[in-house]
Amino acid sequence: MENTLLYGIVGLGILLIALTVWTYILTKKIKDLSAGKKASSLESIIIENNDLIKKTKRRQKENTEKITHLKSELLKTIRDVSVVRFDALGDSGGKQSFAIGLTDAHKNGVVISSMYTRGSMNVFAKKIIKGTSKHNLTDEEKQVINSN
């Protein structure tokens, strides 16, 4: 019985020493944190940092919305450009005729074609929606649309 009481007292003593050391360490950390500062200034720093965090989150949300909008707008811009030169008659030489395709990510845009023959030169523009046109497309025009 005396040994049990002795072990209990020693255990409580060790626990008391551990708690004292822990309290000392925490007190030292608090003193280091607030060295040369008043409690009110630390509070104002914390409030200021919280305000900055809120502003940063708000800006991040705004930037995310802007990026999403820009991505959707980017899909509508001309991004695929292709040119094919060819002989309109097959024997005129020099490949003076051409077709230019200007389309967006959804294959919407325009095809501009120039047909050069010995006696004339004609230019055609055809609206392209989803890779097709309501006007007949030449093989060269189809090639510039599908090359991208």
- Specify if 1 maps to a domain: no
3 state SS of 100: strand
CA atoms within 13 A on the CB side of 139: 4
Structure tokens at 115: 């047909």
How much is the pLDDT for 36? 64
- Specify if 7 maps to a domain: no
> Helices marked H in the chain — which ranges?
2-33, 39-74, 139-146
88 and 118 assigned to the same domain: yes
Q: Which range marks the domain in which residue 51 is found?
A: 42-74
- Specify if 125 maps to a domain: yes
Query: Distance between CA atoms of 146 and 5, rounded to whole angstroms?
Result: 92
- Specify if 133 maps to a domain: yes
- What size, in residues, is the chain? 148
- Specify if 17 maps to a domain: no
Report how many domains make up the chain: 2
| pLDDT averaged per 10 residues in sequence order, the chain, 148 residues | 80 92 90 67 84 97 96 89 86 81 91 87 92 90 86
3 state SS of 148: coil
Residue pointed to by tokens 């008043």: 38
68 and 52 assigned to the same domain: yes
84 and 137 assigned to the same domain: yes
Domain boundary among 53, 74, 95: 74
